[in-house]
Structure 1
């Protein structure tokens, strides 16, 4: 089986409903005709292995498994073939890019484009395009391609960054720690040597009472294996003297010395001091585990606490999630950031195997993670990448879920300066207006506000301006509540249930457009929305700023671009379908949904994401929406 048919098989296995040849063609970047031939070939193969591909007229293809045991055995053979000694020739652009990066990283000599093109069975013009993508990726690691006439290309950069890049592109980190982590096709290390390194790490962790996460152990193992191989070949990491001094003072350096000592004894190699320091950086970059019952001052230095609170303030300011006072979130973020800041300081990479799932299933938490990442960049003066943002989003997502579990009415405190009489008037007006939906926990004068506890308070209703920054929102109203005042409070009290049709407006749906690039799509949507006075001229720049932090293509041919912070005076969605799929920062996209959230909105954004998710997560729905040629056909596809 080639990589296209393997991709088709994976898509069919994952699909809840039939998939069209158009969809499968878009995924593999081939014509529908080629896809139909690939499906026929796949069906012949599967028919001998316990399954068939059913073709359902007018609907698409569906996988039907007849003999579960036989099919499972076949899948095992496919996986073994993929990891076998004769790797598949890469077909897709991203596969070819990764292949080029591996080849460039693993040779000390120059590589000629003609030789690479022949090796990969592609044209010279194709490999030149792939090389552009490879250069962009390598540039993220400060690795550059040195060109020499008549010789070819060679990757050059600091030994530290070369290793980081190798860890990402040569080793498979998706498997269980310590199991087949190194691809024998790409390294001279024997399996027995890897087993020795693994045992050394595990023994030292146990002896020194360290608590490391699985991901941290994984990273340490991979990098120690790389270090051993590179030292054998005469390469060494170098660190600035000041950085060395900082590391030598740490307890983790002593543990690193023990680990390296055992490796030196086992393999008869000598690690210089800088290499020991490098292993210590990994131990400094491990993730501590949250222990229930700890007080914040027991687990967090003041500077880390300030960073955590700055992050939560910024998230509250931009997204109004109501999680700023979540003590479990404060502690878990603090425990995560203490070692993570060491990683940022030394430019260390960390892989997040859950990243795509987090982006797809917890988009609101991921947006909050992006905001957290921007605050961290200000604090550390280092670039925070998507992998780290994904880990921050997990902590934030847990807090969002905890917030949802809170039951009962919203709770507010009334503040008034003109005497208890007017405060009581406000109190009873609120009770009569909102009944069981709002629990008014009490009234207080402004000067006593600093004595009030904000625990379990959702917001404050005040008849006077409150200049201080409080941990909960303040709604300023008139002493005699008018309709406008009540409407303001209603937005905090209500739990609106939105229909999906409310977000699909006819004048914001643009079908079968013939754009050729991501930029064309964004410019068209931004210009159209500006003409309709829904946004201003700064909107496009805000969307592009968000794309620069992390592209918004979610797979399934869908992208959901949006500004990095709310820009508009109302919440809306704008849709654009394309005649042909385009490249969207490395992913194929044909269905674009631009999202804009109202500034200072207190609405439950997760509900909108849930509604949208029902549409864009289903390949069959997306394919039918892509075929729609008018508004009625488009709306008719939507889940009722």
Structure 2
């Protein structure tokens, strides 16, 4: 099979549900004729091994459950790969070995490590060289090594990361250290970064930790003149990587590529500030037309910070990301959105750039935040999110909308909240803060009804929903120590039961660490619901469980055991709707 056909087969195996023809056409960007040809080829190849690719009219293509393990083993064996895929895989494995080691490797040694003949490997490496510009396998007296632009080598390593990390592993602690280092750098330099940008930057940092030597490669020195070098130097120090010219230039280049910008350009800041003042005057006029009170100083601070970062992105040619909450903002914050849209009409900045609808929605967030009437006597609250940036303003706006008698004194990260609570009476946070000097109400980012009840209980009585006084850093003294011990043991038993169940899952349902952690967190938050059940019967959930029982008898047998044991240790009855949620994690998360 060709690579696309292998990918289509993988897609069918991973979905656990029939995959429609239209989905494959959209996902792979090919014509219906091409995808049908691929399906025909896949079906014929699998038939040679006694595996059937089934199709259901109106539903799509699937492999029956009993043949999935056999099909996965066949894929992993490489027997379905054509010569081109074999050559590409040999080049990828060789690249990763040389990238991690650095320096030369003899062709004989490399041949043994990738399990190939010398002639086949030599051909695959030369094919790689002919298909790539800027990087290549360099053949010399000492053997083979990687050469070319160091930045492009690391970008290619990110593409090959699944192969790279098989030979050069990072521990969970090292990966967490990378995440923490990036977050710390973001806090220190107050940078603008998207979720995708964060993932891209952490991926780059991980492959950089693996790259022990980079002799014989080049780099573009022009990236050393950017403002981002200070951020890059800070991050490299946190990662324990030597901050030389090559590392700095490559890091800055990748930062710009994934949209991480540091706003230090004084001339750009001054010009953007002047242009932003013009937009704020327009917003003030629109607010007056609608008899809306505006905190001009707050809006000036918020907008200048946001638009300065946007201007830097435009200067670097970085496409601003779409606002994923656009529809929500247009619907739920209509007046603020209309004010922003009318004010931005005809307004230009940074060399004639006009705000898109997505960018207008970001402006609307700040307008909504800074046009709220605040009573004279009210509790002051500091809103805390993981980073204190991005769409945390929407989260704060939800709180302000539901609790108009609260005065939101600021948005911040957990890191900064420990040192400066901004005179707040208490904190509403999406992350635990264990050493805060004032009370903390921890809620989810979704701000559901349970979260709103928790906030309401504190605001209007200083208590939790179950009449437990909220005290910073202290357990509820009303809970008897014996009861607390019993509750802890019961919850611990439920967690262990879930872990044992996940360990017993078949290999084809192997879950990632992230999914397992998500399941454990789901269980912890589900237990309070089970202890006070008020869920109505759900016919759809019952039908869904029945379908799971037919399709995945081995999984349902394991889960039935888990639910039974959990009900016994907690003394609860778990509804069908609650049970379905666990299946969703397992069947879609592996």
TM-score > 0.5 by shorter chain:
no
More helix by share: 2
TM-score (structure 2 length as normaliser): 0.34
Question: What TM-score, normalized to structure 1?
Answer: 0.32
